[in-house]
Amino acid sequence: MPKKTESIQRRSKWSWYFYDFGNSAYASIILLAVYSPFFKETVVGGAKGTQLWSIAVGVAAAIVAVLSPLLGTIADFTRFKKQFLVIFTSLSVVFTGLLFFVRVGNVFIGMFFFILAEVGYRAGQLFYDALLTDVSTSETIGTISGNGWAFGMIGGILALVIVIPVTLIGDHMTPFAFPIAALFFLFSAIPSFLWVKERKKAQGIPAGQNVLSMAFKNLAETFRSIKEYKEFSKYTISFLFYNNALMMLMGFAAIIGGTLFGLSQMELIIFVVILQVAGALGALVFGKVADRYSGKASALVSLLLLAFSLFGLFLTTSKPLFFVIGAFAGAFMSAAQTVSRSLVGQLAPPEHVTEFYGFLSVAGSASSVVGPLVFGAITSAMNNWHINKQVDGFLSKDSSLTRELALEMVDKLPAEKYSLLWGIASIVAFVVIGGFLFLLVKPIYANKKQETNVA
């Protein structure tokens, strides 16, 4: 390979890595360590904060689920992946920065700005993932996916280190963390905008057609032809279930830590740093295992170990043990995510790779809708059940009490903790169901040519 070509490929690959470096800052600060607990406890407060957070995450995911198949088709047809990446990244950056203006009681703008930032983040991720096949080969796709995920974790850690001084000053300074996340994301994404090259050439538009009409036509054809790719279809169904668990973990890890284990803002940041470090190691190790042995085996092992890790949350109330469980869960969650990303490039036909990423994104976005809403519904129902049980107990002991007075006497924190354990149980259930369905997908063979045509 000529040195110039090799240098261009290396620059393209590292530019792709840097996008993950930047969007992990968004995930770390907005989804995990800072904004989610800030919204839940400061903007809203109590169990209602958990419920509204689940709705906001679900609405954003629903929007992406509707858009992603059509946008994926347009990108494949027009060679427009990078342009869409720029558009949605910009959307996320702008509204992440605007979260600075969210204060106590600003529930509407707190949800609205977050939903738009999340739509940009999730939709941008689709086109970033689709560019994986432009910076890798069938022999290196798992390793490069894992390297990108690991490098992204480093970005998430660095972003958290930068915002630590802001959060230590006091709660009134917390909003300054959000424009910091936006700028970190923007500057890290610029190399991918400049130097990642799409290898596929754009197709010509037939006379009498336009980009939109051709997109709908190609999308309809892909829906019809996808039946031929049975293994990809089965994989998508399994992904739909276990990705529910992954999205629920990302969306509610900080709320679980803060409520069940009483973690302070600083402890939450330390916890997320541990998640990121463990996640980087998990992505690197399992990405290489996927390339050397089997993508399917790598994903299944990570899901099995993730389920065992989460089960440990039912057995402890200790903060140190929660950090240990979080480290294992972070490693196996990142492993499952990075291997899932590389499997698409192996199961999808090359000429429709962005569309197939779009279809998987529909499953992922549906997970992001269903998972958080299921979590919110279960925790809300169990929280109300536990509170009503306490109220009935007070009323049975003192018939002179009214229900309103008895409700004021209830200690609501135990009810909220109890409800979160049910939410965790739903996460474990999604992991187990998704892993079982994944067993039905035919093995990903070591022979890369076979892998590409395994469907």
pLDDT of residue 95: 98
Q: Of the ranges 8-12, 129-133, 209-213, 409-413, which one carries the lowest mean pLDDT score?
A: 209-213
In a domain, 291, yes or no: yes
Which of 84-98, 155-169, 336-350, 395-409 reaches the highest mean pLDDT? 84-98
pLDDT of residue 433: 94
Mean pLDDT, residues 402-407: 82
- The answer on pLDDT for 452 being more than 60 is no
CA separation for the pair 262, 268 (Å, rounded) = 9
pLDDT of residue 455: 30
Q: Which amino acid is at 156?
A: G
- The answer on pLDDT for 273 being more than 60 is yes
- The answer on pLDDT for 439 being more than 50 is yes
pLDDT tens for 289-333 read 777 777 778 888 999 999 999 998 998 888 999 999 999 998 999
Q: Which residue has the tokens 């088709």?
A: 73
- The answer on pLDDT for 207 being more than 50 is yes
pLDDT tens for 220-251 read 776 676 667 777 888 888 888 898 888 888 77
* DSSP H helices in 312-411: 319-347, 353-397, 403-409
- The answer on pLDDT for 20 being more than 70 is yes
CA angle 24, 29, 33 (to 5 degrees): 115
First-residue to last-residue Cα distance in the chain: 32
Strand residues in 104-236 grouped as ranges (E): none
Mean pLDDT, residues 140-156: 81
In a domain, 446, yes or no: yes
Handedness of CA 424, 425, 428, 433 (dihedral sign): negative
pLDDT of residue 162: 92
Mean pLDDT, residues 432-438: 92
Q: Which residue has the higher pLDDT, 74 or 41?
A: 41
Q: What Cα–Cα distance (Å) separates residue 147 from each residue in 314, 379, 383, 429?
A: 33, 36, 41, 29
pLDDT of residue 443: 57
In this structure, what token pair is assigned to residue 54? 């689940």
Name the pTM for this structure. Answer: 0.76
Mean pLDDT, residues 381-405: 85
Q: Which amino acid is at 38?
A: F
Percent share of the chain, pLDDT over 70: 84
Mean pLDDT, residues 115-135: 89
In a domain, 209, yes or no: no
State which H helix or E strand residue 241 sits in.
Answer: helix 230-260
In a domain, 353, yes or no: yes
CATH code for the domain of 312: 1.20.1250.20
Domain residue limits at 27: 12-196+217-452
- Residues 68/361, Cβ–Cβ less than 8 Å: yes
Band of pLDDT at residue 150, cut at 50, 70 and 90: confident
Which of 364, 361, 356, 354 is closest to 75 using CA atoms? 354
pLDDT of residue 205: 63
Q: Please tell me the total count of domains within the chain.
A: 1
Band of pLDDT at residue 79, cut at 50, 70 and 90: confident
DSSP letters for 279-328: HHHHHHHHHHHHHHT-HHHHHHHHHHHHHHHHHGGGS---HHHHHHHHHH
Percent share of the chain, pLDDT over 90: 30
- Residues 9/140, Cβ–Cβ less than 8 Å: no
In a domain, 6, yes or no: no
In a domain, 56, yes or no: yes
- The answer on pLDDT for 411 being more than 70 is yes
Q: What Cα–Cα distance (Å) separates residue 235 from each residue in 40, 140, 356?
A: 34, 21, 12
Which of 212, 350, 333, 221 is closest to 282 using CA atoms? 333
Band of pLDDT at residue 357, cut at 50, 70 and 90: low
In a domain, 101, yes or no: yes
Mean pLDDT, residues 427-443: 88
pLDDT of residue 112: 97
103's torsion region: left (phi>0), alpha (psi -120 to 50) or beta?
A: beta
CA separation for the pair 245, 230 (Å, rounded) = 24
Mean pLDDT, residues 418-441: 91
pLDDT of residue 34: 92
Q: Which residue has the tokens 């957070």?
A: 53
- Residues 270/322, Cβ–Cβ less than 8 Å: no
Mean pLDDT, residues 382-387: 90
Q: Of the ranges 18-32, 135-149, 439-453, which one carries the lowest mean pLDDT score?
A: 439-453
In a domain, 205, yes or no: no
- The answer on pLDDT for 346 being more than 70 is no
pLDDT tens for 23-34 read 999 999 998 889
Q: What is the 3-state secondary structure (H, E, C) of 329-340?
A: HHHHHHHHHHHH
pLDDT of residue 193: 93
* Mean pLDDT of the chain, nearest integer: 83
Return all residues near 117 (Cβ < 8 A) that are at least 6 apart. Answer: 26, 30, 91, 92, 94, 95, 96, 98, 99
pLDDT of residue 173: 85
